[in-house]
Amino acid sequence: MKFLLVEDNPDLAKAVCDRMHLDGHTIDHAENISDAIGFSETGDYDLILLDIMLPDGDGRSFLKRHRDQKRDTPVIVLTARSQVSDRISMLDLGADDYVTKPFDHEELQARCRAVLRRKAGTAQSVLQIKDVSFNPVAGVVTVCGKTINLRNRELRLLELLFNAPGQIFPKQKLVDRLFSYEEDVSENAVEVYIARLRKHLEGSALKITTHRGLGYRLDHD
């Protein structure tokens, strides 16, 4: 998954980014509303983590703008405000959930998973296509009844393809989803991960097909 963190506290931002990276997620970090707008309007994110008190204004203005533009990316608000009225106002503006500071990182991760499941319209943790099952939360993949070990980016690439079988993903879109803006990578990196996934899926009903000039698609027999 690719997240956008909008947070001006450098220590907290680093802690959140480090934890998300450990879980295999890609995360971009904006320190203010202006940068957050730039990221959100040019990037493709699965989830936004939004602080409220920012150097150039109130994060609720970003949230309102985000929803006014009909963007449906889930937003979890990170707030030090504990008043019920504050939480209600953020939910009414379009926040999907909120976490009160200081928070436990395990709770934040659990809330991220819950919001993403709701966005996908399912409460199940294990996805199944033919003879391949995938638990994105636990990072467990089973091919023909055998559990295989995937690296973090291999897992995230499989998750993208698994959630949209039959859809063609251009290389650049996969680069945008798998890597942050700070990482200088080429489209060749995607080819490497595609090759690794194909090897892991050998013998199963799933195939990653190449559509020249267009991208890659997950198909099954």
Q: Give the model confidence (pLDDT) of 64-119 as tens digits.
A: 999 999 998 999 999 887 677 777 888 888 999 999 888 888 889 888 988 887 87
Domain 148-220: which CATH class? mainly alpha
Q: Are 160 and 154 in contact (CB under 8 A)?
A: no
152: DSSP letter: H
Average pLDDT over residues 190-214: 95
140-143, strands of its sheet edge to edge: 127-129, 132-135, 140-143, 146-148
Spans of all domains in the chain: 2-120, 148-220
Average pLDDT, the chain: 89
Q: What long-range pairs does 175-183 form, CB within 8 A, spacing at least 24?
A: 176/2, 176/43, 176/44, 177/2, 177/26, 177/44, 178/2, 178/26, 178/153, 179/26, 180/2, 180/26, 180/27, 180/28, 181/28, 181/39, 181/43, 182/28
Cα angle 14-20-25, degrees, rounded to a multiple of 5: 130
- Give the phi and the psi of residue 137 in degrees, each rounded to 5: -70, -45
* Fold agreement (2-120, 148-220): no
Cross-strand bridge partners of residue 3: 27, 47
Q: Is the pLDDT of residue 130 over 90?
A: yes
Integer angstrom CA distances of residue 26 from 18, 41, 129:
10, 17, 25
pLDDT band (50, 70, 90) for residue 182: confident
- Give the phi and the psi of residue 141 in degrees, each rounded to 5: -125, 130
Q: Is the pLDDT of residue 123 over 50?
A: no
Q: How far, in Å, CA of 91 to CA of 75, rounded?
A: 10
Q: Which residue has the tokens 């959100």?
A: 40
Q: Is the pLDDT of residue 203 over 80?
A: yes
> What percentage of residues in the chain have a pLDDT greater than 90?
55
Q: Strand pairing of 132-135 and 127-129?
A: antiparallel
Superfamily of domain 2-120: Response regulator (3.40.50.2300)
pLDDT band (50, 70, 90) for residue 122: low
Average pLDDT over residues 9-24: 91
Q: Are 45 and 2 in contact (CB under 8 A)?
A: yes
Concatenating the DSSP letter of every residue in 181-212 gives: TTS---THHHHHHHHHHHHHTTTSSEEEEEET
**pLDDT tens-digit map of 150-165:** 988 898 899 889 988 9
Q: What is the pLDDT of residue 139?
A: 79
